[in-house]
Structure 1
Amino acid sequence: MSPEAVLDPARTNIDGPREGDVIVTDNLWKTYEMGDQQVHALRGVNLRIRHNEYVAIMGPSGSGKSTLMNLIGCLDSPSQGKYWLNGHDVSQLNDDQLARIRNKEIGFVFQTFNLLARATSLHNVELPLIYNGTPAAERIARAKDVLESVNLGSRMMHKPNELSGGQRQRVAIARALVNRPSIILADEPTGNLDSKTGDEIMALFDDLHAKGNTIVLVTHEPDIAEYAHRVVTIRDGVIASDHVSSRMLNKQDSDKHTKSKQN
């Protein structure tokens, strides 16, 4: 069965990227061949994320959220449909082209940190700049700046086994920031942390968003998703809901109450 055969005819078309859009998907499908069967992991996903939005993509295991993350992160290509990143259609790029886009446009933060065990914090943060050929003096300066920005200035020369879990995740976030990407894509960033440290990392994402970063948070935990300003829920390969988070609604109500008292 082709993707068209199961496509919802009521789907609203996306008319491509507009000024201020960072992520735009139009009728995005991902289909896997499993023997003589086709498995549709994504079924015509339409999504628009603007500059400086803070969006959580959530859903249970098998919902399609990880597949969508891989497509948004240019780790994979769609079977059908379009994906624009920062105004550029990246849906038909080959692996080498996708790798260049990833390094330039996307800062990844993973649950497992993915740090080099024998490298210092500074060298771990430098790595994306080494890959794109940034001169040594500039990359060291930029790596130091972002480590300072996540309050790890005193831990630059420490290796991962000399850091706490929260400090390791801060190194990973600094590494994600060092290329000044269009988006920060965080995949279960608190999954390996205790609740107190997880709250500290989510507070850091609040600070990064306040400084103008676009953040896409992928999680299966509703309480973590509520840190974002917008929550997109994926089920069975389609967007089941897309709404303002309760945290933002509460803030809006509080702001209205404060404004009415001032008047």
Structure 2
Amino acid sequence: MIKLQNITRQYRMGDQTVHALQGIDLQIGRNEMVAFIGASGSGKSTMMNIVGCLDRPSGGEYWLNGRAVAAMSGDDLAHVRNQEIGFIFQSFHLLPRASALDNVAQPLIYRGVPLRERLALAERALQRVGLGTRLHHRPNELSGGQRQRVAIARALVGKPSILLADEPTGNLDSATSLEIMDLIREVHAEGQTVVMVTHEPEIAEQCQRIVRLRDGKVVSDERVQAPRPERAP
């Protein structure tokens, strides 16, 4: 599903060149649940941006579902992001004046889904994440955990092939983090491919596979038997 070959990414900062990624070789198969973990500056966020087609590598090849990403136009990449990839962000990225229902329905607008159908799909997605009674609440009327559930529902509403989660528990307390990870793991158990960025080892350990990055390189890639997280009382 995801194949990276000798991926590099450089940035210019003043008169210096920053080597954010240095020769990444990685494959992620369908229905895997993978965590990228590393300290600040390790390259994990750059890796996520490239996998999510938000950024292009400076060198190397990226294949997504059998397609060479380098050969895609800007419109093609926008189409892939809308059709193939669901994004979950640490800061939720919800529209503050829109209801939970409208926030979740938003990606379907760009697919041309008729209003009645997209609202029905959005309601179903919110029910799936346990927010069927919060359809018309705005983000400021929801807790942090509920806002993240809205973000997860929005990511899933279009049935993407890949779910990308960038520090999905970073702004949440430990009890709520466990609830969100339980939900993500339930989604994975239903067949979803999940790729996650985190700096928290206890969150990474809930995944099947942990890819550790340091200075833009993969320093380890291990498969683990993820334990079942215990819900806080």
Both structures adopt the same fold (TM-score exceeding 0.5) = yes
Structure 2 residue aligned with 1:202? 181
Aligned counterparts of 1:60 and 1:197: Cα–Cα separation in 2: 23
- The counterpart of 2:30, out of the listed 33, 41, 51, is 51
What does 1:188-227 align with in structure 2 at a 5 Å threshold?
188-227=167-206
Distance 1:237 1:134 in 2: 40
Partner of 1:90: 69
Name the aligned partner's letter for residue 193 of structure 2: T
- SS in structure 2 of the partner of residue 153 of structure 1: coil
Structure 2 gap segments, 5+ residues each: 229-233
CA RMSD of aligned residues (A): 1.3
Higher relative contact order (CA 8 A, sep 6+): 2
1:9-35 Cα distance to aligned partner (Å, 9 max, x none): xxxxxxxxxxxxx21111111011234
Q: Distance in 2 between matches of 1:220 and 1:93?
A: 31
Q: Helix, strand or coil for the counterpart of 1:139?
A: helix
In structure 1, list runs of 5 or more residues that go unmatched: 1-21, 252-263
Question: In 2, are the aligned partners of 1:77 and 1:92 still within 8 Å (CA)?
Answer: no
Aligned counterparts of 2:128 and 2:10: Cα–Cα separation in 1? 41
Corresponding position of 2:17:
38
**How many equivalent pairs are there?**
228
More helix by share: 1
In structure 1, what is the equivalent of residue 52 of structure 2? 73
Equivalent in 126, 136, 148 of residue 157 of structure 1: 136
How many angstroms does 1:96 deviate by?
2.8
3-state secondary structure, aligned to 2:159: coil
The residue type paired with residue 116 of structure 1 is L
1:198 alignment partner AA = S
The answer to whether residue 94 in structure 2 is matched with residue 102 in structure 1 is: no
Q: In structure 2, how many angstroms separate the alpha carbons of the residues matched to 1:93 and 1:77?
A: 10
User: Within 5 A, what are the aligned runs for 1:209-248?
Assistant: 209-245=188-224, 247-248=225-226
Q: 2:99 aligns with which of 105, 120, 124?
A: 120
Q: TM-score, normalised by structure 2?
A: 0.94
Q: Following TM superposition, by how much is the alpha carbon of 1:93 offset from its aligned partner in structure 2, in angstroms?
A: 2.7
Distance in structure 2 (CA, Å) of the matches to 1:145 and 1:186: 21
CA distance in 1, matches of 2:149, 2:106: 15
TM (normalized to structure 1)? 0.84
* Corresponding residue of 1:29: 8
For 1:155, what is the secondary structure of its paired residue?
Answer: coil
Give the drift of 1:92.
3.8
Question: How far, CA to CA, are the matches of 1:92 and 1:81 in structure 2?
Answer: 12
- Amino acid aligned to 1:89: A
- Secondary structure (helix, strand or coil) at the match of 1:234 reads strand
**Taking structure 1 as reference, are residues 33 and 94 closer, same or farther at Cα in structure 2, changes over 3 Å only?**
farther
Taking every aligned residue pair, what percent have the same amino acid on both sides?
59
The answer to whether the 8 Å contact 1:81/1:91 transfers is no
Partner of 1:140: 119
Give the CA deviation at 1:37: 3.4
